[in-house]
Structure 1
């Protein structure tokens, strides 16, 4: 058995997170053929829009201060950053509710999705839970509670799928998809929160003075990382925001299911590796040890494991989707074939996305994201207005791939320069 036991601490931590994430991602994938028959492509399209709105707000809800939790040398500063982030998340959720309450009809009209209706009022609640989960995950990552992160991920997946299936049988429409999302986040947060509140001595170090000091010290996170993250999130959801008015919720539903199925196994590797990579990279950087070679070795090792099965899946994607999900989902496989190059590049870059934060290069990252956002917005809008969905996705793939390639080069070059 020792032959199969990872030798390095890094590998063991990755394996711990990957095990939990694998189980968590396997559950919705296994149940997705059932969901595809309970819910229509239109239901998935409306749900995708709801999730996109939530994600765009949740990613900036804490001012991105949760990304700074890994940086301080002492835990007393990390816990104060946690409280600062929590306050901002609560404030953002309240403001979101007020905006939706006042401008609900205008928002639905702009999104061309009256089907969402009063369900849009659940956006602020979901924003709070999603942002809190990200915050708790970062804190547990710092304290190396990898098993708890893995367990919370599994709990979230179990609650999500059970709720979506049961509610889907009881009620028509997309209600079960949204309700499952909220319940899943709630239960996962309860699991992770205990590691924050159990250390009474550490909690005693929380003070307004410390919070204010750290808010100023890490001001670059809301100043640069926050708009960067917002634009990045909106850019990734542009197909949902732009294609919905032109091609309808059903088309977007097929796209969203395709992305869910493909990104699920990819995120098993990306998320688990990135969490431990971030922690290890911070350690190496603080000790002034080699970070460039470490990063390249991680990427090379990853590609050796995933490239072959990914290519096989892409070649037969339409047939796989038609067989597993039904004839109405065959277009989902075609969409994935078009986006294949972008998806593999996105996996690689998502793992090393922490580098700009570590090296204080948020300003450059923001500029690149702005350019990316503008190019992608114009291309998608132009293609959607004048051509079909396939041309739109081809342009999306080309632009995303070029930007991701550039990001990989300049991030790794920045690490090399530091070494």
Structure 2
């Protein structure tokens, strides 16, 4: 297990502390927000966030990942600048797509007589801004991750959720529903990115005047495996993960979608709280060990054991108590969210363990394996929800979804472990 005195444990603790604060705030406010906003409102936000998530995958063409694995500082800086330039270009292209295909996007994702179609159509114009803030935030975070500046990363997460939750709460209290949910979401990403940029501009190692166009182009070519393999793989992954949102909203209604979205929000908290923090530190330490020793097996095993132990108790609580707990905390109209959480609990356990460790695909430069795995994920997601739609039962769809996803994540853990051993 981890030594309490090790730098790895200290770094994880720093990020977990910051992320704990960041996650506790929206979770603590959720019982209030669920009484200010309806399931339909949350369903609308879930659709918007899913669209933003899909577009944000391509915002830097995944070149931001290469910042942390670049061998020299000068290369990392050039990749940082290149990623930000790409983010600007793709944000503009997204604005063009939203403008010319607004109606088509809305009709594809909502019921014919769904309420809020016009509202969602107007919301789509916020997408280019949302994804740029997300891309800029992720890019600069990779730079601070490389420099082991975990306190700044942790603080940025607090800035994000504090501003988001505060604005959503204020909007609800003032009766600005559902627009308060959207403004809060966008503002959170904006202020978090602004905070990191402010710290970046004060970093003496960043010399923008010394950046050369030819060096940026050379490095974009050097790390072309990220847009060629990591990008398609992550795009397929996000489509597979967001597909339930779109299918539930289209075929089962926005109220059911709102309950699903709340369940997902609550269950994603511990993954963000601990899993994402472990990932931030694991990818730095594993990358360092892999470059130095040719493998990172030891840190992989330590991380795996800790993630398993951390997720056992929450999984059991979800499986046995979630319907009662959700109804009591969030209100009776949200009991369905607890029933969904009960079904998803096993997947939560396996996914919580697998997600940080899957970064081994990037470290070992085995992105093509990841792409095929993501394709399988998408295929089984489609099959699961086709079954649910045909039987007109969202719970059957979620059961099929949980079983297939769990099996694929077990395969993912096995492959990640094999990659961590390097070339033996």
TM-score by length of 2: 0.95
Q: Distance in 2 between matches of 1:161 and 1:69?
A: 30
2:214 is aligned with 1:209: yes
Q: Distance in 2 between matches of 1:65 and 1:312?
A: 39
Query: Residues 38 and 168 of structure 1 are in contact (CA less than 8 Å); yes or no, is this contact kept in structure 2?
Result: yes
Cα distance, 1:261 vs structure 2: 1.0
Query: Residues 72 and 78 of structure 1 are in contact (CA less than 8 Å); yes or no, is this contact kept in structure 2?
Result: yes
Which of residues 80, 86, 89 in structure 1 aligns to 2:87?
Answer: 89
Number of the residue aligned with 2:250: 245
Cα distance, 1:305 vs structure 2: 2.9
Cα distance, 1:298 vs structure 2: 1.1
Number of the residue aligned with 1:258: 263
Q: Distance in 2 between matches of 1:309 and 1:402?
A: 20
Cα distance, 1:417 vs structure 2: 4.4
Q: Distance in 2 between matches of 1:145 and 1:345?
A: 29
Which of residues 279, 286, 307 in structure 2 aligns to 1:281?
Answer: 286
Number of the residue aligned with 1:135: 139
Question: What do residues 341-383 of structure 1 show as CA deviations (whole Å, max 9, x unaligned)?
Answer: 1111111111112111111111111011112212211321232
Q: Distance in 1 between matches of 2:148 and 2:92?
A: 32
Question: What do residues 120-159 of structure 1 show as CA deviations (whole Å, max 9, x unaligned)?
Answer: 1111111111111111211111111110111111111110
Q: Distance in 2 between matches of 1:346 and 1:337?
A: 15
Question: What do residues 216-270 of structure 1 show as CA deviations (whole Å, max 9, x unaligned)?
Answer: 0000000010011111111111110111111011111100111111210232110
Number of the residue aligned with 1:150: 154
State which drifts further: 254-263 or 5-14: 5-14
Number of the residue aligned with 2:103: 105
Cα distance, 1:290 vs structure 2: 4.7
Cα separation, partners in 2 of 1:213 and 1:240, compared to 1, 3 Å:
same
Which of residues 7, 31, 44 in structure 2 aligns to 1:9?
Answer: 7
Q: Distance in 2 between matches of 1:361 and 1:289?
A: 14
Q: Distance in 2 between matches of 1:199 and 1:162?
A: 30
Number of the residue aligned with 1:194: 198
Query: Residues 13 and 276 of structure 1 are in contact (CA less than 8 Å); yes or no, is this contact kept in structure 2?
Result: yes
Task: Classify the secondary structure of the residue corresponding to 1:418.
Answer: coil
Query: Residues 318 and 330 of structure 1 are in contact (CA less than 8 Å); yes or no, is this contact kept in structure 2?
Result: yes
State which drifts further: 195-204 or 253-262: 195-204
Gaps of 5+ in 1: none
Number of the residue aligned with 1:415: 420
Aligned residues: 416
Cα separation, partners in 2 of 1:354 and 1:242, compared to 1, 3 Å:
same
Number of the residue aligned with 1:33: 31
Cα separation, partners in 2 of 1:305 and 1:106, compared to 1, 3 Å:
closer
Query: Residues 60 and 226 of structure 1 are in contact (CA less than 8 Å); yes or no, is this contact kept in structure 2?
Result: yes
Cα distance, 1:302 vs structure 2: 2.4
Gaps of 5+ in 2: none
Query: Residues 267 and 347 of structure 1 are in contact (CA less than 8 Å); yes or no, is this contact kept in structure 2?
Result: no
Which of residues 298, 310, 321 in structure 2 aligns to 1:293?
Answer: 298
Q: Distance in 1 between matches of 2:264 and 2:346?
A: 13
Query: Residues 93 and 125 of structure 1 are in contact (CA less than 8 Å); yes or no, is this contact kept in structure 2?
Result: yes
Map 1:140-179 → 2, pairs under 5 A? 140-179=144-183
Number of the residue aligned with 1:362: 367
TM-score by length of 1: 0.96
Query: Residues 383 and 392 of structure 1 are in contact (CA less than 8 Å); yes or no, is this contact kept in structure 2?
Result: yes
Q: Distance in 1 between matches of 2:390 and 2:201?
A: 52
